[in-house]
């Protein structure tokens, strides 16, 4: 069957299935009914920057309440794959996390990489993935928007957006605390206090602390442990309503994380220099591989503690210009700083170490009008935004025993980057009839980015680059005296007659784009929605932060990428919304996909990394989900996502000696499981008085993925299925207590696998974990 024919068949089947079975979106769109009660109340979401019933939103949205997040032990954004199939999280060799939705992501090693999945708290952006460590403190709900969100949420949302809605200050006194402790000794506690300060000023103060819990252990030559947590998160919210028309909100939040960063496992021994070559440590060739999630080794004396912190301040003003028009201003400032240490070879041998560090300062301002007209038949949003980022991004590596370079080599690349974005946007929903609504929007974005950078090295690293410069300039291989310790080591290879002398990076890039979408929503009944949507989004260009031996590969940016999405879906509730179901089919036309890859370098470097664009790629798939309340006390939730990703015609190189060309056409994207899904069940049984007992379980599965493009067998992350269980008591008086088991079968799996010089290293999943959870709300 031809590709377009297959797509049409998928779309037809999705529409027909939706019309017959009638879905309503998504996993936690409703609050769970009390035992013996009728239909649940729908969650109201702000996925389109205004309040709507989730079943009225013509988008694929996962909405999870605070209660659901707590039940499944989700305390960080990187755990959302437990409730949102299609959302995947990978890790690069520098420890940078990669968020993926429906297979769309950006696999980069630097904190300054603009993501494909944007993140927001109360519509204020945290524009870089590294800044999200404290995002899930004291939340009301989380909304995961799938597909390009460029019109309302701007560029860098080609995959989608994660929007966190914080629990708000209350007009009456409330307080609560919850926490858990597991058998590794990790203690987590979160609490809040909320209430009025004056007649028109309410406040909410929330905080959490995570301590202890070292779960990794040495298995080869040591018995050391790693993984102790030392994290604090806090947030202060103020809501001031001086008049009926004016509301002012203030949000100050932040986190400090000094816990031990998870260290890698060694997955395969594969020296860059062939076996028998100079510099191969014999102990490496016989090194024993790990057997379970807990096994991990690292260099003796290595300090694995993070030094991460974030401070964010957000001011929001909503002023009712009239009964139908609201002026909104959102001012956002965030300051993030990080410093990590990672054992790149994942062994007790001293081969290579990474020291990523940096700082991000970001300021943004959004001003918009939201209104209604023509007897509420038209709803519109029009506005503009400004963003300015200043970033220091450092990628340092020490190679005391790596086989591809002389032992003791050190390189450090420091880049100073800026990003300035201006945008204007508008969105309009026009109610053609009571059942039919036309929706559309557009955003123009103008971006300017700059980079100033330099790679330096120690005496060994300087000699390597100086020798390389002399060789490619036609010399005999004598170190060029222009390359000195402490000076820039990047080789000038620009133009038809390059100098091959040291040069520092000083480059810029200016781009613009127009994101847009148009859709049609049809509601034959109040509980049924059938929609179609076409949208286009952009991800901004990126400068690399890599050891830059050559100017053309080390400092040249990739251009912006473009995703055009075609999506149809249905939402419907049956039996007074006791059965709800959703199905969505989608197809992406993906242009200029950005990716991190390899290119051959002359000896002794052999190969190095750089960023490139792939001209054409495509994604197609289906999302399915349901929520059911078959009888009083029982709640069932399930979801399934299928994606078929294919890279277009493109030739890259393997990280081997010598590098080999490989055409990646037709291979799947990295961190893009074909199948992913979850099933959650909980039964609540009333006991005497106001007490209920509950028992529940969760199953999550994900098919095989690759950590790199080209389906390299060395980058495989095998399929896995995990099971969680929970049991406990809840009281209408406000307290809960329970037991939990996560990864009940102690499944050994990993989510990333990548080359780090002479080995392939893994990021393992968490092992089986037992614990106790408790909470009380006043």
Three-state SS sequence of 43-109: CEECCCCCCEEHHHCCCEEEEEEHHHHHHCCCCCHHHHHHCCCCEEEEECCCCCEEEEECCECCCCC
Q: Is 21's pLDDT higher than 50?
A: no
Sequence-ordered list of residues with C-beta below 8 angstroms from that of 351, at least 6 positions apart, any chain: 281, 284, 344, 345, 399, 400, 401, 402, 757, 758, 759
Q: Is 23's pLDDT higher than 50?
A: no
Is the bond leading into 195 cis (omega within 30 degrees of zero)?
no
| β-pair partners for 181 | 187, 772
What is residue 38's predicted lDDT score, i.e. its pLDDT? 47
Between CA 313 and CA 309 the distance in angstroms is 14
Task: State both tokens at 497.
Answer: 């007659």
Between CA 74 and CA 29 the distance in angstroms is 17
pLDDT band at 17 (very low <50, low <70, confident <90, very high): very low
* Cβ–Cβ < 8 Å for 777, 734: yes
Task: Please write the tens of the pLDDT for every residue from 550-588.
Answer: 887 778 899 999 999 999 999 988 888 788 899 999 999
pLDDT band at 57 (very low <50, low <70, confident <90, very high): confident
> End-to-end distance of the chain based on CA atoms, in angstroms?
61
DSSP letter at 151?
Answer: H
What is residue 518's predicted lDDT score, i.e. its pLDDT? 97
Report the mean per-residue pLDDT for the chain. Answer: 89
What is residue 574's predicted lDDT score, i.e. its pLDDT? 81
The share of the chain scoring above pLDDT 90, in percent, equals: 69
Q: Is 366's pLDDT higher than 90?
A: yes
Phi/psi at 589 (nearest 5 deg)? Answer: -100, 110
* Cβ–Cβ < 8 Å for 66, 31: no
Q: Is 612's pLDDT higher than 80?
A: yes
What is residue 100's predicted lDDT score, i.e. its pLDDT? 94
* Cβ–Cβ < 8 Å for 518, 534: yes
Angle at CA of residue 144, ends 436 and 177, nearest 5°: 125
Distances (CA, A) of 537 to 65, 446, 512: 28, 14, 12
Q: Is 743's pLDDT higher than 70?
A: yes
User: Torsion angle, CA of 599/605/609/614, rounded to 10 degrees?
Assistant: 0
User: How many CB atoms sit inside 10 A of residue 651's CB?
Assistant: 9
Q: Is 603's pLDDT higher than 60?
A: no
pLDDT band at 185 (very low <50, low <70, confident <90, very high): very high
pLDDT band at 32 (very low <50, low <70, confident <90, very high): very low
Task: Please write the tens of the pLDDT for every residue from 418-446.
Answer: 999 999 999 999 999 999 999 999 999 99
Mean pLDDT of 337-350: 92
Mean pLDDT of 348-361: 93
Phi/psi at 9 (nearest 5 deg)? Answer: -65, -45
Largest CA distance in the chain: 89
State whether residue 649 is helix, strand or coil: coil
* Cβ–Cβ < 8 Å for 622, 641: yes
Domains of the chain: 3-777 (2.40.170.20)
Between CA 720 and CA 218 the distance in angstroms is 24
DSSP letter at 558?
Answer: B
Mean pLDDT of 364-371: 97
| Residue where the block lists tokens 């879906």 | 569
Of 107 and 249, the structure prediction assigns the larger pLDDT to: 249
Q: What is the DSSP string of 209-275?
A: EEEE---EE--SS---EE--EEEEEEEEEEEE-SSSSEEEEEEEEEEEE-SBPPPPEEEEE--SSPT
pLDDT band at 34 (very low <50, low <70, confident <90, very high): very low
Sequence-ordered list of residues with C-beta below 8 angstroms from that of 635, at least 6 positions apart, any chain: 32, 627, 628, 629, 680, 681, 682, 683, 684
| β-pair partners for 432 | none
The 10 Å CB-count burial string (b at 16+, else e) for 431-459 is beeeeebebbbbbebebebbbebbbbbee
Q: What is the DSSP string of 279-339?
A: T--HHHHTPPPP-STTB----TT---B--EEEEEEEEEEEEESSSSEEEEEEEEEEEEEEE
Of 280 and 340, the structure prediction assigns the larger pLDDT to: 340
The 10 Å CB-count burial string (b at 16+, else e) for 159-176 is bbbbbbbbbebeeeeeeb
What is residue 426's predicted lDDT score, i.e. its pLDDT? 96
Sequence-ordered list of residues with C-beta below 8 angstroms from that of 20, at least 6 positions apart, any chain: none
Of 3 and 595, the structure prediction assigns the larger pLDDT to: 595
Task: Please write the tens of the pLDDT for every residue from 192-241.
Answer: 999 999 999 999 999 999 999 999 999 987 778 999 999 999 999 999 99
Between CA 758 and CA 344 the distance in angstroms is 9
Task: State both tokens at 165.
Answer: 């809605």
Q: What is the DSSP string of 652-667?
A: EE-SSSS--EEE-TTP
List the single range of 36-40, 150-154, 350-354, 421-425 with lowest mean pLDDT: 36-40
Sequence-ordered list of residues with C-beta below 8 angstroms from that of 376, at least 6 positions apart, any chain: 431
Q: Is 28's pLDDT higher than 90?
A: no
* Cβ–Cβ < 8 Å for 426, 386: no
Between CA 229 and CA 210 the distance in angstroms is 6
What is residue 104's predicted lDDT score, i.e. its pLDDT? 96
What is residue 199's predicted lDDT score, i.e. its pLDDT? 93
Task: Please write the tens of the pLDDT for every residue from 110-166.
Answer: 999 899 999 999 999 999 999 999 999 999 999 999 999 999 988 899 999 999 999
What is residue 301's predicted lDDT score, i.e. its pLDDT? 87
Between CA 601 and CA 659 the distance in angstroms is 9
State whether residue 152 is helix, strand or coil: helix
Between CA 706 and CA 716 the distance in angstroms is 5
Query: In what helix (H) or strand (E) does residue 342 lie, and over which residues does it extend?
Result: strand 342-343
Task: Please write the tens of the pLDDT for every residue from 98-110.
Answer: 999 999 999 888 9
Task: Please write the tens of the pLDDT for every residue from 658-701.
Answer: 788 889 999 999 999 999 999 999 999 999 878 999 999 999 99
Between CA 360 and CA 418 the distance in angstroms is 10
Query: In what helix (H) or strand (E) does residue 408 lie, and over which residues does it extend?
Result: none
Task: Please write the tens of the pLDDT for every residue from 705-715.
Answer: 999 888 989 99
Phi/psi at 279 (nearest 5 deg)? Answer: 90, 5
What is residue 324's predicted lDDT score, i.e. its pLDDT? 93
| CA-wise closest residue to 109 among 454, 449, 597, 447 | 597
| CA-wise closest residue to 49 among 117, 158, 127, 123 | 123
Distances (CA, A) of 570 to 128, 167, 438, 516, 527: 32, 30, 16, 22, 11
Q: What is the DSSP string of 691-739?
A: EEEEEEEEEEEE--EESSTT--GGGEE--EEEEEEEEEEEETTSEEEEE
pLDDT band at 512 (very low <50, low <70, confident <90, very high): very high
* DSSP E strand boundaries for 473-606: 505-522, 528-539, 561-574, 579-600
Q: Is 5's pLDDT higher than 60?
A: no
The 10 Å CB-count burial string (b at 16+, else e) for 494-523 is eeeebebebbbbeeebebebebbbebbbbb
User: Torsion angle, CA of 269/272/275/280, rounded to 10 degrees?
Assistant: -80
């Amino acid at each position: 069957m031809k590709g377009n024919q297959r797509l049409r068949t998928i779309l037809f089947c999705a529409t027909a299935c939706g019309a017959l079975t009638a879905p309503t979106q998504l996993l936690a769109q409703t609050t769970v009914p009390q035992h013996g009660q009728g239909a649940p109340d729908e969650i109201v979401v702000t996925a389109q920057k205004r309040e709507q019933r989730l079943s009225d939103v013509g988008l694929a949205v996962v909405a999870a309440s605070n209660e659901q997040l707590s039940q499944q032990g989700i305390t960080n954004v990187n755990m959302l794959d437990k409730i949102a199939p299609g959302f995947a999280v990978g890790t690069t060799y520098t420890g940078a996390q990669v968020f993926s939705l429906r297979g769309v992501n950006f696999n980069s090693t630097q904190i300054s990489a603009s993501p494909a999945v944007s993140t927001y708290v109360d519509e204020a952006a945290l524009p870089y993935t590294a800044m999200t460590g404290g995002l899930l403190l004291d939340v009301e709900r989380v909304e995961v928007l799938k597909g390009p969100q460029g019109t309302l949420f701007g560029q860098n949302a080609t995959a989608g957006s994660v929007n966190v809605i914080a629990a708000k200050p209350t007009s009456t006194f409330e307080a609560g605390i919850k926490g858990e402790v597991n058998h590794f000794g990790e203690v987590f506690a979160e609490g809040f206090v909320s209430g009025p300060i004056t007649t028109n000023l309410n406040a909410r103060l929330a905080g959490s602390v995570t301590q202890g819990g070292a779960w990794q252990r040495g298995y080869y030559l040591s018995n050391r442990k790693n993984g102790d947590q030392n994290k604090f998160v806090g947030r202060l919210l103020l809501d001031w309503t001086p008049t009926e028309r004016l509301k002012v909100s203030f949000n100050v939040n932040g986190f400090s994380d000094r816990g031990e960063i998870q260290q890698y496992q060694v997955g395969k021994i594969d020296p860059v220099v062939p076996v028998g070559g100079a510099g191969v440590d014999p102990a490496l060739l016989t090194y024993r591989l790990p057997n379970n999630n807990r096994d991990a080794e690292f260099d003796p004396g290595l300090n694995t503690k993070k030094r991460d912190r974030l401070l964010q301040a957000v001011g929001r003003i909503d002023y009712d210009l009239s009964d139908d028009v609201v002026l909104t201003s959102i001012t956002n400032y965030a300051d993030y700083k990080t410093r990590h240490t990672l054992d790149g070879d994942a062994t007790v041998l001293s081969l290579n170490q990474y020291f990523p560090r940096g700082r991000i300062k970001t300021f943004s301002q959004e001003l918009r009008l939201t209104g209604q007209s023509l007897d509420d038949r038209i709803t519109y949003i029009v506005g503009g935004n400004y963003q300015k980022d200043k970033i220091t991004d450092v990628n340092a590596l020490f190679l005391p025993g790596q086989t591809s370079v002389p032992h003791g080599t050190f390189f450090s690349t420091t880049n100073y980057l800026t990003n300035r974005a201006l945008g204007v946007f508008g969105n309009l929903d026009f109610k053609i009839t009571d059942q039919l609504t036309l929706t559309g929007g557009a955003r123009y974005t103008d971006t300017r980015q700059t980079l100033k950078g330099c790679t330096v090295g120690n005496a060994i690293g300087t000699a390597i680059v100086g020798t390389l410069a002399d060789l490619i300039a036609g010399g005999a291989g004598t170190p060029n005296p222009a390359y000195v310790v402490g000076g820039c080591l990047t080789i000038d290879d620009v133009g038809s007659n390059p100098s091959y002398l040291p040069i520092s990076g000083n480059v810029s890039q200016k781009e613009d784009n127009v994101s847009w979408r148009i859709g049609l929503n049809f509601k034959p009944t109040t509980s049924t929605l059938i929609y179609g949507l076409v949208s286009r989004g952009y991800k901004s260009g990126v400068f690399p932060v890599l050891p830059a031996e050559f100017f053309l590969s080390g400092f040249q940016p990739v251009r912006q990428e473009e995703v055009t999405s075609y999506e149809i879906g249905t939402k419907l509730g049956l039996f007074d919304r006791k059965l709800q179901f959703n199905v969505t089919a989608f197809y992406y036309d993906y242009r200029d996909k950005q990716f991190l890859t390899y290119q051959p370098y002359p000896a002794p470097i052999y190969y190095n990394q750089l960023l490139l664009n792939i001209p054409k790629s495509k994604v197609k798939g289906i999302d399915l989900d349901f929520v059911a309340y078959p009888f009083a006390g029982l709640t069932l939730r399930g979801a399934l996502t299928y994606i078929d990703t294919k890279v277009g015609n493109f030739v890259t190189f393997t990280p081997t000696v010598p590098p080999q060309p490989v055409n990646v056409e037709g291979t799947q994207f990295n961190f893009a499981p074909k199948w992913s899904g979850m099933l959650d069940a909980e039964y609540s049984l009333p006991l005497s008085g106001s007490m209920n007992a509950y028992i529940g379980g969760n199953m999550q599965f994900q098919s095989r993925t690759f950590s790199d493009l080209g389906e390299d067998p060395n980058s495989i992350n095998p399929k896995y299925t995990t099971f969680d269980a929970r049991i406990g008591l809840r009281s209408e008086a406000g307290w809960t207590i329970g037991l939990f088991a996560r990864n009940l079968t102690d499944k050994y799996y990993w989510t990333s696998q990548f080359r780090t010089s002479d080995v392939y290293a893994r990021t393992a999943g968490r092992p089986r974990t037992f614990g106790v959870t408790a909470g009380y709300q006043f």
